[in-house]
Amino acid sequence: MENTSYLSIQDILVTNEKVPCKFLHDLPKMGFLDPSATEEDLKAGTHLDIPLWLAESLYSRRPPLISVELPKIYKESYREILGADACTVDMHKLGKYFYEMGCYVAKHDIKGEVSATLMNTFLC
């Protein structure tokens, strides 16, 4: 999202939403991120839901430490529903910050379908 503000309450709330991620590398002493972990290290291949602000930080590293997966409201099944008739869908039920969050996760969508869905639902 290009026009974010450090002091924007709405941006703080959006980036605090959790997104599903897969850790690509072992992270020593980071096992506390996984409530079900029995070890103090976080192993590669672990799937966790972490806040977007943390996911963005870990993804922007070189090499990326995680791969960010699309939240379920941006996956294909929901995109089909929105593509059929977005005017009848209660967007608030999908997520209070559907568009703002979509702007953040759209860069993790390789096919670019999230951006198109956001545009189509907004125009409806």
The pLDDT value recorded for residue 90 is 80
Which SS3 state, helix, strand or coil, does residue 21 take?
strand
Confidence of residue 4 (pLDDT cuts 50, 70, 90): low
Asked, as a colleague might, if the bond just before 63 is cis with ω within 30 of 0, I would say yes
Q: Where are the domains of the chain?
A: 1-16+71-124, 18-70
Confidence of residue 3 (pLDDT cuts 50, 70, 90): low
What tens digit of pLDDT does each residue of 35-91 get? Answer: 888 889 999 999 999 999 999 999 999 999 999 999 998 888 888 888 787 778 887
The pLDDT value recorded for residue 84 is 80
Quote the tokens at residue 80: 């089909």
CA torsion 15-103-49-32 (nearest 10°) is -40
CA distance 79 to 22: 22
Q: Which of 19-23, 89-93, 115-119 has the lowest mean pLDDT?
A: 89-93
Please compute the mean of the pLDDT values over residues 3-20 and round it to a whole number: 85
The count of C-alpha atoms lying within 13 angstroms of the C-alpha of 8, restricted to the half-sphere facing its C-beta, is: 12
CA distance 116 to 98: 14
Confidence of residue 1 (pLDDT cuts 50, 70, 90): very low
What tens digit of pLDDT does each residue of 23-32 get? Answer: 999 999 999 9
